[in-house]
Amino acid sequence: MAIESFHCSLCGRRVKIQSRADMPVLDPNTGFGICKNCIKNIYNFIEEDERRNSRTNKKNFNSQLGELLAKNKPHVIKEYLDEFIIMQERAKKILSVAAYNHYKRMKYDLDNHGGDEEIDKSNVIIMGPTGCGKTAMLSHLSRLLDIPFAVTDASSLTEAGFVGADVEVAVRNLYYAAGRDIEKTEHGIIYLDEFDKIARKSGANNSITADPGHEGVQQGLLKMLEGSVVEFTERGQRKHPEAPTIKVDTKNILFIVGGAFVGIEKIIEKRVRKGDSNIGFGSEIPSKEDTDAKFNELIHQVRPEDLMKYGIIPEIIGRLPVICTLETLDEDALLRILTEPKNAPVKQYEKLLAMDNVKLEFEEEALRQVAKMAIERKTGARSLKGIIEDVMLDVMFEIPKTTEPRRVVITEACIKGEESPKIFPLEETVILSKESA
């Protein structure tokens, strides 16, 4: 006969068995049983304990570090980034070195336990036009590194007390990326995306005179950048005085901040022009190439005082010693982005269609047209996928109707919307010879 109830051997409460979930541990022969509630409590206790003990895992961490250092040399990191990111050579180098030095710094710190000679952190600021690869580069970097890495959108942060996310959220995101291990969190990397959005509105780039909100966010971030103990509650828990909190020291966390800093080139130009009135870009209406060339030349000359004028407080700029600028992507770069990266849009569509026995071919002129249209949209590489997606929709819809091998050709006119993609039957021999090749 099925047991209808039992007494929990731990808390003693009588538990009515309504489903299997009510008796996770129960031995019908001896009557020994633990109720669901007690199991939950035990689980929480163990988790909490492991988290507290993570600080004692230092030794373990140190031995791993040697391995990580040997594995993640700058040239290796850059090679990995090269597989996904076109151009932006300097930025890829800067990030590779920053990540490697971060490991080194940790190792030095742990080896010289308690010593007071520390290697300074080199937080990085990345700037460049929209859609040039800032977020993409950092997300690929995070996949490669074996240290926790979290991206937080700075524009979502608000000053404590205001509606929105407090600056601590950036550390909390890292804590979760580190599998809730405090020791690992304290050595992770935080990427603050859209950092320019927290520039003071009273900066030269804006007209409003006072902006306490954004300045408050910057002050909050400054504390984290300087290294302080940040306290936050678990996700989903409301902040109230008795809520248990997690404390993380940010002293050794590497901060990378990035943003488009729209309009900063004007500030740089103003400063540069003061010293040199002819910076050599003719006086006629500039072409798109000229504007890009000028932008690229100016952005590489950015100095801390320009960022200050833009509305970032000097104390923060002082904590971001490495300035890394990205270039505007021209038509040729966009063309390469369509086909070269490991996850290039064209490669992705080829794979998708191959699963339906279809060989996808983009004519060279078609790809160039995609790049041209993306340039017109002024959102860098961001719009490439969308443009192709529009053209591919009907193909993706029609193709799976049958399984016979076919060939799809995308022409320039298809991209312009003047004709639909052509679907041809493909003789089996062609596919066979391809497979045996």
Ligand X SMILES: Nc1ncnc2c1ncn2[C@@H]1O[C@H](COP(=O)(O)OP(=O)(O)OP(=O)(O)O)[C@@H](O)[C@H]1O
Residue with tokens 């890394």: 324
Distance CA 131, CA 330 (A): 12
Could you say whether residue 135 binds Mg ion (CB under 5 A)? Answer: yes
- Pick out residues in 139-178 that bind ligand X (CB under 6 A): none
Interface with ligand X, residue 81, by CB under 6 A: no
β-bridge pairing 254-259 and 189-193: parallel
The reply on whether position 130 binds ligand X by CB under 6 A is yes
Q: Of 249 and 330, which has the nearer Cβ to ligand X?
A: 330
341 binds ligand X (CB under 6 A): yes
Structure tokens at 244: 């248990």
- In the list 15, 136, 145, 190, the residue contacting ligand X (rule: CB under 6 A) is 136
Q: Is 379 in the site for Mg ion (CB under 5 A)?
A: no
Beta strand 245-249 with 14-16 is unpaired
Work out which of 339, 382, 413, 426 binds ligand X, going by CB under 6 A.
382
> Looking at 85-93, 113-121, 314-322, 368-376, which segment touches ligand X (CB under 6 A)?
85-93
- Interaction between residue 64 and Mg ion (CB under 5 A): no
CB 331, min distance to ligand X, A = 13
Closest by alpha carbon to 182, among 123, 253, 99, 126? 253
Report if residue 370 touches ligand X, rule: CB under 6 A: no
- Least distance (Å) from ligand X to the CB of residue 85? 4
Quick one: what does residue 216 bind among Mg ion, ligand X, none, with the CB cut-off 5 to 8 Å set by partner type? none
Closer residue to Mg ion in complex, CB, 347/382: 382
Nearest CA to 300 out of 94, 101, 85 is that of: 94
∠ CA 244-246-247, rounded to 5°: 135
Identify the residue among 132, 151, 302, 387 touching ligand X (CB under 6 A).
132
Q: Whose Cβ is closer to Mg ion: residue 35's or residue 256's?
A: 256
Cα 35 to chain centroid distance, Å, stands at 43
**Total residues in contact with ligand X, by rule CB under 6 A:** 17
DSSP 109-161: HHHTTT-S--PPP--EEEE--TTSSHHHHHHHHHHH-SS-EEEEEGGGB--TT
Q: For helices 74-82 and 134-144, give the axis angle rounded to 10 degrees.
A: 120
Q: Which stretches of the chain bind Mg ion, using CB under 5 A? A: 134-135
Q: Which stretches of the chain bind ligand X, using CB under 6 A? A: 85-88, 130-136, 260, 337, 341, 380-382
